Amino acid sequence: MNPADFQLDPVLKRLFGGVLVLLVVASGVGAVLSRRARTDAARAGMRNFNDRTRAWWVMAGVFALALVVGRTGTVVLFGLLSFLALREFVTLTPTRRGDHRTLFWAFFVAVPLQYWFVWKQWYGMFVILIPVYAFLFVPLRSALAGDCRGFLERTAKIQWALMVCVYCVSHAPMLLALDIPGYHGSRMALPLFLVLVVQLSDVFQYAWGKTLGRHRMVPDVSPNKTWEGFVGGILTATAVGTALWWATPFNPWQAALVSLLVCLMGFAGGLVMSAIKRDRGVKDYGALIEGHGGVMDRIDSICFAAPVFFHVIRFFWT
Amino acid sequence: MKGDFVAFLGRLATGARSRWLGCEPDTRQRIYFANHTSNLDALVLWSVLPSAVRALTRPVAARDYWTGGFVRPWLAREVFDAVLIERKKPTAHDNPLADMIVALGDRHSLILFPEGGRSSGPEPGPFKGGLHHLAVRRPDVEFVPCFIENMNRILPKGELLPVPVLGGVTFGTPIRVEPAETKPAFLERARRAVIALSNG
């Protein structure tokens, strides 16, 4: 797909148009409410809201650009996200001197290789590189370094980091490789649909939780997650996903079920990543994105939603 | 310009961020002293300083390391304006402390690693006496303890290839020699000030 095709693709155009409207509305609301904020707490809250909105403009712009460039752009973007997420994850995970070269392999061999297979759309290698070959290689390389202290724990942490930050995330661009009989829309619509529904689910959960949240779900893991935010956010995002059925290979009720599934998986991802942060005693994985924290804080829900979304489509639609 | 670009690359490669806990960035004369675990330490501490402060701040570095190859001498001379010193025992006409006093002048700041070499333990080793000497000779200069984080994970001693873990530099409260404080007491207090930042 090249930019000329994009010009002709009305589905993507309409989706981008919808995102644009959302961002303009969010910026407008942010500007009006900041002017009305009277207390310091309200002003701080609005500053965070505006930081987040500004970051959303940048993130949406980068993502749109990658999709417009096509398969290569999308694969490169998700490859970079994996690399940055892995970087934040490994920083937070205590490793030892003996893991140095294993980590070098993880960053500079496993990540590029996985995304090369995605780009080649070589499903057989894409699906086993990390669960089989990296899984076996990681402990071997660390064992060769000759440090046994906490060996299993260190190995498991590196394997887990690769699975979550690289393997899981890479399922989003791999959606472009799915050949769905009878579906003649844009392939770019699938990753866009996934990211849109999952991220909106995060935003709506946050919004419902802030306004109506009373009953905390798992206060020891994530004090901001409430039942009200969970139900409201997931239902709202599922409704949006359902309304976008025309952009996907799904009919409306299929779109509703798939949206519900990815919202639930996204919630699971956010919760699990919060548990790790809490255990390490930090609030965010990084500070790359103003108002949001690190890359990992933004894509934690994608990590869990992307593989399930991919395999559900692959199983039922191809 | 050159400096800003190298500093940008340094921050990009190490992902380093600065945390100013005990003081604010300032162009007043300072000696930043830090733990030393990696050859990247001088680069990263220098890179996270704001541009105006960085332009006046010169790392003190070992001549034998920074004159090897092509890139390092260029960086040391053209970019860092490094103060290159001999690591072997000082003699009367080749005393690194005299070089540092001259390098400070009346407007520069220095980056110093008072352990004298890289340590591979979790805590910095004992500090060498030069820090005390400088503190006595230049009581007007602020001595800022700094803790450099994760550089030993990015490029540990003895490794050639870096791993892109995120680093960081924490700046603490400046210290000075107290009246009647002995040299070993001051050096140990300075070392403790660096270690204290590692848990902050």
Residue A295, pLDDT > 70, answer yes
Candidates A189, A116, A175, A187; CA nearest to A307 is A175
Contacts of B198 in chain A (CB under 8 A): none
pLDDT tens per residue across span A85-103: 999 999 988 888 889 999 9
- Structural domain for B12, as ranges: 2-197
- Give CA–CA dist A192/B172, Å, rounded: 46
Find, in chain B, the residue whose alpha carbon is nearest to that of A287.
Answer: B17
Residue A288, pLDDT > 70, answer yes
- Give CA–CA dist B194/B136, Å, rounded: 19
Phi, psi of B74 (to 5 degrees): -65, -50
Residue A8, pLDDT > 80, answer no
pLDDT of residue A24: 94
pLDDT tens per residue across span B39-63: 889 999 999 999 999 999 999 988 8
**3-class secondary structure, A91:** helix
Residue B28, pLDDT > 90, answer yes
State what percent of residues in chain A have pLDDT above 90. 63
Helix axes A71-92, A151-161, angle to 10 degrees: 150
Kindly report the CATH number assigned to the domain that includes residue B153. 3.40.1130.10
- Give CA–CA dist B190/A190, Å, rounded: 58
Provide the mean pLDDT of chain A.
Answer: 90
Q: Is B40 within 8 Å of B155 (Cβ atoms)? A: yes
pLDDT of residue B89: 67
Question: Which position has the token pair 């390092």?
Answer: B72
pLDDT of residue A188: 87
Residue A145, pLDDT > 60, answer yes
Tell me the average pLDDT across A129-155.
94
Tell me the average pLDDT across A46-71.
89
pLDDT tens per residue across span B103-132: 998 899 999 999 888 887 778 889 988 899
Number of CB pairs < 8 Å for A and B? 33
Residue A106's pLDDT band (boundaries 50, 70, 90)?
Answer: very high
pLDDT of residue A190: 92
pLDDT of residue B122: 73
- Looking from the CA of B8 toward its CB, the CA atoms found within 13 Å total 5
Split into its structural domains, chain B has a count of: 1
Candidates B49, B38, B47; CA nearest to B13 is B47
| Nearest CB neighbour to B164, from listed A95, A101, A107 | A107
Give the residue, A244 or A280, on which the prediction is more confident. A244
Best B160, B166, B169, B198 member to test A by mutation, with max A CBs in 10 Å, is: B166
Tell me the average pLDDT across A53-74.
90
Q: Is A302 within 8 Å of A165 (Cβ atoms)? A: no
Contacts of A88 in chain B (CB under 8 A): 166
Contacts of B19 in chain A (CB under 8 A): none
Tell me the average pLDDT across A149-155.
93
Tell me the average pLDDT across A117-137.
96
Domain range summary for chain A, segments of one domain joined by +? 1-69, 77-177, 178-318
Best A91, A92, A165 member to test B by mutation, with max B CBs in 10 Å, is: A91
Tell me whether residues A104 and B165 touch, CB distance under 8 A.
no
Q: Is A276 within 8 Å of A223 (Cβ atoms)? A: no
- Give CA–CA dist A233/A199, Å, rounded: 10
State what percent of residues in chain B have pLDDT above 90. 50
Find, in chain A, the residue whose alpha carbon is nearest to that of B149.
Answer: A91
> How far, CA to CA in Å, does A290 sit from each of A58, A124, A177, B43, B148?
10, 38, 33, 25, 23
Tell me whether residues B161 and A287 touch, CB distance under 8 A.
no
ipTM above 0.85, yes or no: no
A239 residue type, one letter: A
pLDDT tens per residue across span B77-108: 889 999 988 877 666 666 788 889 889 988 99
Best A93, A99, A103 member to test B by mutation, with max B CBs in 10 Å, is: A103
Find, in chain B, the residue whose alpha carbon is nearest to that of A93.
Answer: B165
Least confident of A114-123, B11-20, B118-127: B118-127
**3-class secondary structure, B191:** helix
Contacts of B156 in chain A (CB under 8 A): 97, 100
- Residues ≥6 apart with Cβ < 8 Å to A256: A238, A241, A242, A245
| Nearest CB neighbour to B17, from listed A83, A104, A287 | A287
pLDDT of residue A318: 85
